[in-house]
Amino acid sequence: MKYVDEETRALVHQQRINDLEEDNFLAANRLEEMTFGDDSAFTFEDELLPRKIKKTQKCVKENEILEENESPLYSKKKRKTKKSPLIKKRVHQRKSLERIILEEGLSINDAVPNYLTMSVKASDYPRRFFCTVCGFQHKYTCIRCGERYCSKKCESVHKETRCLKFSD
């Protein structure tokens, strides 16, 4: 079993945090991520259209003339149905914190309190640590990588997935 020093542990911990932040990032518009030559390949409005509407046939009146191979009860004319209006939901663009700060023009030197100038006193209670697998309060610490877990089940998950970066 390979033991890892504190510097390497901190480096791996920071890398995991960076990976999580990249996973949470949402583009302002999902279409920006797609690189099609033209916009006709995909439009967002297609997702808002109602699903396929069942086709119904109108019952034939007695005085109408039927064509060959037609049932006397139904004709090939489709019933005129009211088309449901396209539900236009305003999609709110999700913005990252960095983008909001840039748009608002916030800076540390502002006289008005803002996100960058906020501060809080240190907590009176000790720091709490949580299981890296399930999020409960930790009871054990991995001797190999220093990550915390709460039970034997979480330990096995940790060793199978999260501790693999340190394997020989």
Tell me what pLDDT residue 151 has: 93
Q: What is the mean pLDDT of the chain?
A: 70
CA dihedral of residues 95, 99, 102, 106 (deg, nearest 10): 60
The percentage of the chain sitting over the pLDDT mark of 90, rounded to a whole number, equals 12
Domain 1-15+129-168 architecture: 2-Layer Sandwich (3.30)
Tell me what pLDDT residue 25 has: 56
Tell me what pLDDT residue 48 has: 55
The residue extents of the domains of the chain are: 1-15+129-168
Q: Is the pLDDT of residue 126 over 70?
A: yes
Q: φ, ψ for residue 162 (rounded to 5)?
A: -90, -25
67-78: pLDDT as tens digits: 545 555 555 566
Closest CA to 159 of 145, 7, 136: 145
Give Cβ neighbours of residue 51 (< 8 Å, ≥ 6 apart).
Answer: none
Tell me what pLDDT residue 98 has: 81
